[in-house]
Structure 1
Amino acid sequence: MKCIVTLLSALSCGILDRIWALFRRGWVMASWLDKARDNMLRYSSGQAWPAVMKEWSVTGGFIDSHSINKTCELCDNEGLRYQFQITNVLTHYSLWVGSTCINKFVPVFVGGRELLGEEKEAEVRKIMAAARATSRQERAKSVLAQLKIKAPDRFSDPKWVANLDVGYSASQLKMIAVLCKSHRITFNSGDFKINTRKANVVDQIRLLEPWQYFNMRDAIPKSRHKQFDAWFAAKRTK
């Protein structure tokens, strides 16, 4: 009998925990929606929900804080890295918000047509991807600017910046990584590109030590990761 009571008690606790989790999740969701709605109404001309959503639009402005410490000014959710600017066309208020709130509350237009559902989500992902790409390029340019000061004999040529979009050879990026380390410059290979369309660059990658390859892997197109991962896995076993 004692065992049965213990079992029933454990089951009850488990059920109560699940009920509490569901309740809390629903409360958090309601709280998030209420905050976003209240803030949107506060900075809008109209007072009828959801009509006020039509007053807002995405401007294309964004901020990359480079750390997860920003807050969405619409729903007050914390822990954002990327913030996107939205503006009210009637009151001219601007807010910096997360992509989730854009998907939920802010109309997105392309060619004068409002996007809905999956189309809207795809466009928001496109906006986010463009923002991340711009942020990566800004960081890469900052690295090159610092190297131009620290090693002007190697980095004074404007082609270093001009070739950012095209990509570098593996040897060039390896040199950048080495000099960044020696000059204590923050280096992230994902901010750069290695141009694997050239056969000699592919050969350069294959000549890297495994640790060098994995340090620079983020600069290599994702479509080539599987190929090079297999190459270096085989190289390690030799």
Structure 2
Amino acid sequence: MKVNYAGTVPLSTLDWTGKSAVTIFFRGCPLRCPYCQNYPYLEGVSLVELDFLKEQIKISKPFVSAVVFSGGEPLMQEAIIPLAEFAKILGLAVGVHTNGCYPERAAELVERKLVDKFFIDVKAPLDDPELYGKVAGWVEYKEASIAVKKNPEEITAAVAKTIETADTSGLELELRTTLIRDLIGNEREISRIAAWISEQVKNKEVTYVLQQGIPEHGLEEKLRKNRVLEREELLELGRIAKGFLEKVRIRTREEGEEII
């Protein structure tokens, strides 16, 4: 089996809070979020054998307690199933960073007990497909890219289904929103996202994270001049989210991860 591979971080303490992990990055993504910092992974083909990635995981095994699959979008590739199986055989916990567009593969991982934690992007209010499409790059790229196949209504439905699957599984769940000034992350938008999570997610142990987006590193050139939201602004938005949810955190380059 071939894998469209982007790279490996042999030892990461950032991709799963509280765990040391080997992080595998996959190429390919169905979205084109204008702020995406991993945009070199969105397209292109760099195929490797499945055994190559198994060896990458095996090499890191003495130093880590988990493997994290990221990207790009890892659930695009069927290879995530045998790789997760391999990680579990080695006694490693498995985490998946996902945009939520592939609920069927998320469900397969759950059913086969091959995942321990989902990290799911909630890019905008899920009850606002038009805004979600804008933040996910659908408006800009729907004509230019064959990758953006789902319309905004289909995207939001898929994300909601993936969250439901993760929620009912009883596994650890982290939902996160990346904040970009003048694109996504004002007080009303965060209130709507947090309220939706509060109403729809039964697991009250869910963690909601507000991430400080860095526009200068993003895909969209015209966005790169936007001023970064400061830590104090994220703290205030985190307090708003805290009005709906028990577990809220912010992540900034100034102070790293902080509990609200």
When normalised by structure 2's length, the TM-score is: 0.28
Q: Pick the structure with greater CA Rg.
A: 1
| TM-score (normalised: structure 1) | 0.30
Could you say which structure has the higher strand fraction? Answer: 2
Q: Which has the higher contact order (CA 8 A, sep 6+)?
A: 2
